Structure 1
């Protein structure tokens, strides 16, 4: 017994050295980045834009789209992955809200929340062929339809865009028809096809169609007007409070499975922060109307906790997490 223990003690430094060497050699192969939304949506666009910038940081990343369940399907794969740094994912505020609500099996302790990639203002949009040319016309039609106005969003119940749709309907004293999609591109396709009346989506998944004249933005749910669309009113401009229970923010952030070695987590964290803060990505962010600050560490962990608490309060007050 003594000899076995002694061998273990003598072997410990070598094991630690081997572990350190593994961390120093990371990455030795491609890293799989799970996008828990459909291809062509806002998160997918960001992930693919990051790929060449991450490659410049020595991180070869392969995008793997795994849509479903308002990002639950993809984030389950992240949580279940070996914590070796070779599987990561782009999460959003919505998964924080769903975990807090207890409506899904995933829990906070299954993830290492690492870097904020973007903070995404939300837009209310209609087709360019819509008869509603501005927000007052849309709001008037919303009331006249008496529950018949349809709104499409990325995801299902509990997402930020879903919560905004509920807040808007309640402010107008009306019911509405909710349509959830696995990604923004699908919602846009149905809007342009005339199958739904309106959508609530991010600028980075709608700006190409806005610039091409296919989509007409009517308002932003942000507290201030957007530099990218300075003439676009906020709901506050129209006298509608879309933050009656406190501020709500949509963000995209990097998450990995809990338990990654600190050196590997630091390597990934540093590479992503440099990519996000690069001149190329900052120009992309400005062009698509979202801030990208690369927030990480304790400050970002606290933000995730605060956002989760606020989203849960809003969701419970509005009955967002109750089954339909």
Structure 2
């Protein structure tokens, strides 16, 4: 066989391999897509996912069905995504905990987010805000830390449970400032906030969507947000860095939700989902829903998101180790 014919043979063979992939991308999606949400129906994550699924479905011309798979801090749902076929018909709503915290928290974690998932794009970012009961005699973080160190004070903070982001935010504050705070874990952030309002617990870190109504009503007092920049929903509340706690934002304090798919999803399908998410994020209805949940719209390219997720993985590993938190 002549060299020319050999080259032609390899070229035609390559075209035959590429053709099915091109056809798959062109025809996709030809049936409904399943979006696995790793938390219960009715919560903030579920509300965000359903709004996003509706808008993305309109862009793609196919319905996106939300499938709630709660448990293990979100890991059960994202594990189902990781184990699904990489054909574009199963995607998941991941978040800081499912990809950056849980792998270090659970000794036998079922998936590695760095190798078992395909990042598509984040969709929102958000923050924790440190709030205290109004009777705690402080007005800023420095005063709160000093108050916690007094010999006549038994200061504590509540969280939604061991390993939750608001637990780790508290442990990070203790590490960076030497604050003396006992951790009191609850089965969810809602009952924790109730006890902070009642004065049973001194403080907690909470997300704006649930903290804002209580802040406005005067039931809790905000001291600082954990994000690198001030929250647009709490513009008068300083960041931890502005409050004299440098390094807090560098340790992994900006929280987020984003879309992921199984590993080895063909690049053409990754781009199709990414572009659909971008178009959906421009829709006024989705923008209004996101603002109503006190989230900040935020996207990255799939490559940028992968890099970001890897950095987050390492950052939160240090915070989890610092806290000593483990979940069997």
| 2:118 maps to 1:116 | no
Q: Secondary structure at the match of 1:164?
A: helix
For 2:7, the equivalent position in structure 1 comes to none
Structure 1 residue runs of 5 or longer lacking an equivalent are: 1-9
For 2:64, the equivalent position in structure 1 comes to 61
Q: Is the 2:86–2:263 contact (alpha carbons within 8 Å) kept by the matching residues of 1?
A: yes
Offset, 1:255:
0.7
For 1:4, the equivalent position in structure 2 comes to none
Offset, 1:222:
2.2
Is the alpha carbon distance of 1:178 and 1:37 closer, same or farther for their aligned partners in structure 2, counting shifts above 3 Å? farther
Is the alpha carbon distance of 1:224 and 1:115 closer, same or farther for their aligned partners in structure 2, counting shifts above 3 Å? closer
For 1:232, the equivalent position in structure 2 comes to 237
Q: Secondary structure at the match of 1:125?
A: strand
1:187-217 per-position Cα deviation (integer Å, ceiling 9, x unaligned): 5567668876544232245445555766654
1:61-116 per-position Cα deviation (integer Å, ceiling 9, x unaligned): 22222222221111111111122212111112222233367832311211001101
CA RMSD between the two structures: 3.7
Which range is displaced more, 250-259 or 285-294? 285-294
TM-score (norm 1): 0.77
1:281 pairs with one of 276, 282, 286: 286
TM-score (norm 2): 0.77
2:50 pairs with one of 18, 23, 48: 48
Aligned pairs (5 A) from 1:134-283: 135-136=139-140, 142-143=148-149, 149-153=156-160, 156-157=162-163, 159-170=164-175, 171-179=177-185, 181=187, 184=189, 188=193, 198-207=203-212, 217-241=222-246, 243=248, 246=251, 248-283=253-288
Offset, 1:288:
4.7
Is the alpha carbon distance of 1:233 and 1:12 closer, same or farther for their aligned partners in structure 2, counting shifts above 3 Å? closer
Q: Secondary structure at the match of 1:131?
A: coil
Q: Secondary structure at the match of 2:82?
A: helix
Which range is displaced more, 211-220 or 117-126? 211-220
Is the alpha carbon distance of 1:241 and 1:178 closer, same or farther for their aligned partners in structure 2, counting shifts above 3 Å? farther
CA–CA distance in structure 2, aligned partners of residues 199 and 46 of structure 1: 24
Structure 2 residue runs of 5 or longer lacking an equivalent are: 1-11
Q: Secondary structure at the match of 2:31?
A: coil
For 2:311, the equivalent position in structure 1 comes to 306
Which range is displaced more, 130-139 or 97-106? 130-139
CA–CA distance in structure 2, aligned partners of residues 96 and 319 of structure 1: 15
Q: Is the 1:152–1:196 contact (alpha carbons within 8 Å) kept by the matching residues of 2?
A: no
Q: Is the 1:40–1:185 contact (alpha carbons within 8 Å) kept by the matching residues of 2?
A: no
**Count of aligned residue pairs for this structure pair:** 310
Offset, 1:310:
2.1
Q: Is the 1:156–1:162 contact (alpha carbons within 8 Å) kept by the matching residues of 2?
A: yes
